[in-house]
Amino acid sequence: MSTPKGLTPNRRASIVLCNTGSTNRIGPGRLYVNLARYWASIGFTVLRLDLGGAGDSIHADPATENQPYAPIRIDEVRETVEWIRRRSGFDSVVVFGLCSGAFNVFHAAIDGVDLQHAIIVNPATFYLGADQTQYTSPESVLWSAQTLRRGLLNHASGG
């Protein structure tokens, strides 16, 4: 966890950075380290999170360890949001995710996890369920709509 230091004003908000895929909490190319340090320097409390036993975390359930799209990841996001609220005393929580982290943040938000904002990067993966393809996912209608929209708006294809 990175917190404001010295005379930095406290923003009374927490940011949770969910790991992506099987990488650990430092993020791709140490992105999450840099984001956490920067946001803490301007007053935010920032937590870098290993979901699903990835990185340095030890996962209690070997059946779902290192499976970034397993449904239990949503419960882990929920528990983390509740923990950071208790720890920091702040009601406002922003949750950030990239790729599978974005998938988990998106699904946590639609599942009712109490977060104020979600920063989600890489929307193509949002429409696929854990261990599913675009053809077998119950969200395939949304996937089809996303693909169709991109095709209709792609002027390079001559359409």
Residues 118 and 152 grouped into a single domain: no
Q: Are residues 69 and 99 in the same domain?
A: yes
pLDDT of residue 155: 55
Burial of 146 by CB count in 10 Å (0-12 exposed, 13-18 middle, 19+ buried)?
middle
Give the C-alpha distances (Å, rounded to integers) separating 8 from 3, 4, 11, 92, 145.
10, 6, 9, 18, 45
Q: Are residues 81 and 145 in the same domain?
A: no
Domain shared by 69 and 144, yes or no: no
- DSSP character string of 2-43: B---TTPPP-SEEEEEE--TT--TT-GGGHHHHHHHHHHHTT
Q: What pLDDT score does 159 carry?
A: 46
Domain housing 67:
13-124
The pTM assigned to this predicted structure is 0.74
Residues 50 and 83 in one domain: yes
Flag whether 70 is in a domain: yes
72-95 per-residue burial string, b: 16 or more CB within 10 A, e: under 16: bbbebbbebbeebbeebebeebbb
Three-state secondary-structure class, residue 155:
helix
Per-residue pLDDT, 73: 87
Enter the DSSP assignment of 117: E
78 inside domain? yes
Please name the residues in contact with 149: beta carbons below 8 A apart, sequence gap of 6 or more.
none
Residues 95, 137 within the same domain? no
Do 63 and 101 lie in one domain? The reply is yes
76 & 97 share domain: yes
Tell me, yes or no, whether 2 lies in a domain.
no
Residues 156 and 101 in one domain: no
pLDDT tens for the chain, residues 1 to 159: 888 888 777 888 999 999 887 777 777 888 999 999 999 999 999 999 888 767 666 666 777 777 788 888 899 999 999 999 999 888 899 999 988 888 889 889 988 999 999 999 885 555 555 556 555 655 555 555 555 555 555 555 554
